[in-house]
Amino acid sequence: MSILHRALKLLDKIRPAQVAFAHCDIPCGIYNSFPSMMAAQTVQKMVQKINEITTDQSKITVNDRNNFVRMVNVKEEHAQLCKKELLILWTDYFKPEHLKMFPDLHDKVWKACKLCSKNKQEVSEELAQQLIDAVHDIGHMWEEAEKTKKGGPLDGKLFVFTGALKGFTRDEAEKIVESLGGRATTSVSKKTDYVVAGEEAGTKLDKARELGVKVITEKEFKALAKGV
């Protein structure tokens, strides 16, 4: 078992995951506006390429017909994918507090999803561009919402570990700190927020006391990681 795997298992014990809903329903908690924009751009590209195929029946080749069918299929698949990704953001990511930030959120998502359907039904560069613009607007909302997210319980805190820990290795403890928004280093300084002292702590403990850095036990570290 890798160090990261062990650290994640320990983190799960210290700070169990809360129920959430993400696009894979595990839940992974990963949300991003990029997939919907990529899908919308693919729709636009397929529309452009379809319109480049000659309409002169005497010049159309078998390959032209084959490419036409493939392009239509890709256009429709990605229009549907774009709708799916938008609905994931709408139903799973955005919360009531985001409606206060974006009063027109529901209307914009509804209209964007309607554009996905229209782009499946038609071959229109105008409709494809409207879809791009609509997805861009929703992506901007997602970016602004992300800026308001709070950091982890150890956000911005600098830790130093010294001595033997009972519940995890030094590397595992440092991984936990990093996963919760903090940083771990090997030397104590005035910028250090916490020194976690295990059994038989050495000179780092002395240095912390000399500098007036807060010293905590392994049990207290676990409580901090839980956010309590």
Are 143 and 163 within one domain? no
3-class state of residue 216 by DSSP: strand
Tell me how far the alpha carbon of residue 144 is from its chain's centroid.
14
153 in a domain, yes or no? no
Same domain, 88 and 186: no
CATH number of the structural domain spanning residue 182: 3.40.50.10190
- Do 75 and 109 lie in one domain? The reply is yes
The reply to whether 164 and 216 lie within a common domain is yes
Q: Is residue 71 packed enough to be buried (19+ CB in 10 Å), middle (13-18) or exposed (0-12)?
A: buried
Query: Tell me, what CATH number does 53's domain have?
Result: 1.20.120.400
**Last residue of some domain: 91, 117, 147?**
147
Domain count of the fold of the chain: 2
Kindly state whether residues 55 and 116 are assigned to the same domain: yes
The answer to the question of residue 188 being in a domain is yes
Q: Is the residue at 82 inside a domain?
A: yes
Together in a domain, 112 and 65 = yes
12 is a domain residue: no
Q: How far apart are CA 119 and CA 117, in angstroms?
A: 5
At 18 the pLDDT is: 47
Q: How far is CA 201 from the centre of its chain?
A: 38
Do 132 and 169 fall within a single domain?
no
Residue 214 domain-assigned? yes
| Judgement on whether residues 73 and 134 belong to the same structural domain of the protein | yes
According to DSSP, residue 215 is labeled E
Give the predicted TM-score (pTM) of the model.
0.59
- pLDDT given for residue 176 in this prediction: 86
Euclidean distance between CA atoms 74 and 35, whole angstroms: 15
Same-domain pairing of 30 and 111: yes
- 218 and 136 both lie in a single domain: no
Among 44, 105, 116, 106, CA closest to 82: 116
Domain residue limits at 216: 158-226
Low pLDDT (below 50) residues in the chain? 18-22, 26-27, 228
In a domain, 11, yes or no: no
Beta carbons within 10 angstroms of residue 18's beta carbon: 7
Structure token digits, residue 36: 């919907």
- Does the residue 113 lie in any domain? yes
The residues near 202 (Cβ < 8 Å, ≥ 6 apart) are 162, 163
* 55 and 78 housed in the same domain: yes
Per-residue model confidence (pLDDT) at position 22:
47
Note whether 140 and 30 are same-domain residues. yes
- Tens-digit pLDDT profile for residues 159-205: 999 998 888 888 888 888 887 878 899 899 999 999 999 998 889 99
**Cα–Cα distance, 189 to 121 (Å, whole number):** 64
Contact yes or no for 5/14 (Cβ under 8 A): no
